Structure 1
Amino acid sequence: MISCMNNVSETGVRIGIDLGGTKIELIALDATGHELLRFRRSTPAGDYRAIGALIGSMVAEAEASLGLQATVGVGTPGAISLKSGLMKNCNSTCLNGQPLKEDLERLLGQQVKMSNDANCFALSEAMDGAAAGAGVVFGVILGTGVGGGIVANGHVISGVNSIAGEWGHNPLPSPFGSELSGHDCYCGRKGCIETWLSGPAMADDHLRSGGGLMTAEEIFAGVEKGDSLCRFTLERYSDRLARALAGVINILDPDVIVLGGGMSNIKRLYDEVPKLWGSYIFSDEVRTRLLPPKHGDSSGVRGAAWLWGHE
């Protein structure tokens, strides 16, 4: 039977691993969330066994540097199938169909906590980030895709189907005009929130509206320079985000929503979206706060470290 050494619980030191497509990052936190060390290595592309071996060597390196054993949590780009126990939905496709958790536990000789990157982001921001102290937190990923995670009273809510927070594959609420036909989503459906609110989706919307081929970052820069087409694109995006988050608030009613991913860097969203979402929410007053992340790109790896005791 796999178990953690006694001194792990005594030290309170936690190791977090963020398993990304291009890099694997490791962080070690003490019991208060203070960073003890951090380093990263390039992900062995397409090589499942090499990925596992690298994670094992990184944990060994960290524990040797710390002079103690620590708990290990891993944030992944996909999820563990409840049906098979194998990885699914990973954009690093070599992980799909593999018993990653089981293999890592065998390599490390101890139990490993594992969750998807959106859950890790939400947990990090709920524990000691922008939403610290809040009862219910919805963490949003707005990047090349759209995902989310839920933390209630310091614990990740995964759900009976392990899909809690997957708002990106619900339809965009209250579509009108050209939105009614929707766009094809990789999940096989049309009109998913992800097809409207990801970074590439903003770029596609701008192009369809006659604004030319621009990235989301370039569109926002255009807004700052007074480009009217870029401003209209951002206004459409803000309204769609307001509608999508209003749906979350109507169901979950979180204290705080924290935005993550590349689109979270658009500062105007934090002012504009709360001004808009009130007309879509079933309440005469909306107290939910919309906040930028405190830990930014570090939230995923920090959240992985916090998984122990907070699942």
Structure 2
Amino acid sequence: MIICGLDIGGTKVEAAFFEVVKETQDSDHWQEIQVGGEILFLRNRGSRRIPTERSRGYQIVIENISNLIKDLSKELTIGLDEIKGIGIGLPGSVDPKKKAMSNGNTRIFLDKNLENDLQILLKLPIPVEVSNDANCFALAEVLAGAGITYAKEAGKPVKKQNGLGLILGTGLGGGCVINGQLITGASGSAFEVGHMSIELDGGLPCHCGLEGCAEQYLSGTAIEAAYSSRMYSQIAERPDARKIFEMAEQQEPMAQAIIKQYKKRLAKYLGNLTNILDPDYFVLGGGVSLQSVVYEDLEEELRRHTYSPVARPKVYCHQLGDSAGVLGAALLALI
């Protein structure tokens, strides 16, 4: 079986074709996944990226995406009629009934019927599923990454796991997978945890129009803003989050204070999410997740903010790397 994943962002679009089988004798080249209690094996047959070029408008972008699929199909000698389903990850909330983006910064996709438009351009009635990109990240990690690791460590199969994925990058996004099923909510906006307010009295303004959103305190951008606002008169240019972590490691006092505060906020935030959903584990993605200091004492600290004394969620760094988004998109075609 061939499935196609599309990871559509504000700056780039990635397409990948995956082959899925029930059995294999060559496990070194296949990745184990668990879908609906069934163990399957998957391998990436090939991928390609193009710039989104959203400034050119929706019609040009969707035509470019269609051509991307066609070109990759020819390159891999896989017929379009062999594709059993296409999954799409979009940078915003997706209405599950309309399969259209209802909110997000890449506004050219708002209220667009990608399923219908792609079927017309590809001239095939290929089933198309659409979801938020952070949902795709969580789905991939639970079904094929951290979830497989947890199953081996705890003896609990993916179909019985409660896994939460968080992307700590330019913004803060999340996805929730319970018993192997992606939770999208009534309107497709479930687990928009970047826009939960974590400040009682107002807080920092967010681009969404709210105040005190978690994204304004726990994203990589938030780390940069916190440092720059305190050191603006003493620095020639604003350092990025990775540089601030490096400075903290080198004992630079303000960087140390910023990272210490960040870790306290993150632990409390994960504790609050644990009180709501009682996950088996969290899996973190995005640039901040690559910093090893983030994980030091994190599991112990988050437990200080949980109600249940037996809630002990693990915290994993993402295990699928940059492929998680496009793989999760493709997996939408399987669940």
Do the structures match in fold with TM over 0.5?
yes
Is the Cα–Cα contact under 8 Å of residues 9 and 90 in structure 2 kept in the other structure? yes
Is the Cα–Cα contact under 8 Å of residues 18 and 301 in structure 1 kept in the other structure? yes
Partner Cα distance (1:306, 1:83) in 2: 19
Which of 46, 52, 67 is the equivalent residue of 2:78?
Answer: 67
- Identify the residue that residue 287 of structure 1 maps to in structure 2: 312
Give the fraction of aligned pairs with identical amino acids, expressed as a percent.
Answer: 34
The Cα of 1:308 is off from its aligned counterpart by: 1.4
- Identify the residue that residue 15 of structure 1 maps to in structure 2: 4
The Cα of 1:102 is off from its aligned counterpart by: 2.5
The 5 Å alignment of 1:97-108 reads: 97-108=111-122
Equivalenced residue count is 294
Q: Which residues of structure 1 form unaligned runs of 5+?
A: 1-11
1:150 has 2:176 as partner: yes
1:204 has 2:229 as partner: no
- Identify the residue that residue 57 of structure 1 maps to in structure 2: 67
Q: TM-score, normalised by structure 2?
A: 0.82
The RMSD of aligned alpha carbons is: 2.0
Q: Which residues of structure 2 form unaligned runs of 5+?
A: 21-40, 152-157
- Identify the residue that residue 240 of structure 2 maps to in structure 1: 215
Is the Cα–Cα contact under 8 Å of residues 26 and 39 in structure 1 kept in the other structure? yes
- Identify the residue that residue 23 of structure 2 maps to in structure 1: none
- Identify the residue that residue 52 of structure 2 maps to in structure 1: 43
Is the Cα–Cα contact under 8 Å of residues 79 and 90 in structure 1 kept in the other structure? yes
The Cα of 1:117 is off from its aligned counterpart by: 0.3
Partner Cα distance (2:310, 2:231) in 1: 37
Partner Cα distance (1:125, 1:19) in 2: 18
The Cα of 1:127 is off from its aligned counterpart by: 1.3
1:262 has 2:287 as partner: yes
Q: TM-score, normalised by structure 1?
A: 0.88
- Identify the residue that residue 189 of structure 1 maps to in structure 2: 210
- Identify the residue that residue 138 of structure 1 maps to in structure 2: 164
TM-aligned CA distance change 1:218 to 1:139, over 3 Å: same
Partner Cα distance (1:180, 1:91) in 2: 26
Matched position secondary structure for 1:29: strand
CA displacement 1:198-252 (0-9 Å, x = unmatched): 1111112223344754221111110121212211111100111111111111111
Name the structure where strand makes up a greater proportion of residues: 2
Partner Cα distance (1:296, 1:24) in 2: 16
- Identify the residue that residue 263 of structure 2 maps to in structure 1: 238
Matched position secondary structure for 1:89: strand
Matched position secondary structure for 2:15: strand
The Cα of 1:62 is off from its aligned counterpart by: 2.8
- Identify the residue that residue 87 of structure 1 maps to in structure 2: 101
The Cα of 1:85 is off from its aligned counterpart by: 6.0
Partner Cα distance (1:200, 1:295) in 2: 23
TM-aligned CA distance change 1:15 to 1:309, over 3 Å: same
The Cα of 1:83 is off from its aligned counterpart by: 8.5
Partner Cα distance (1:222, 1:61) in 2: 45
Partner Cα distance (1:198, 1:122) in 2: 17
Partner Cα distance (2:100, 2:17) in 1: 27
Is the Cα–Cα contact under 8 Å of residues 238 and 272 in structure 1 kept in the other structure? no
Partner Cα distance (1:205, 1:262) in 2: 17
- Identify the residue that residue 128 of structure 1 maps to in structure 2: 144
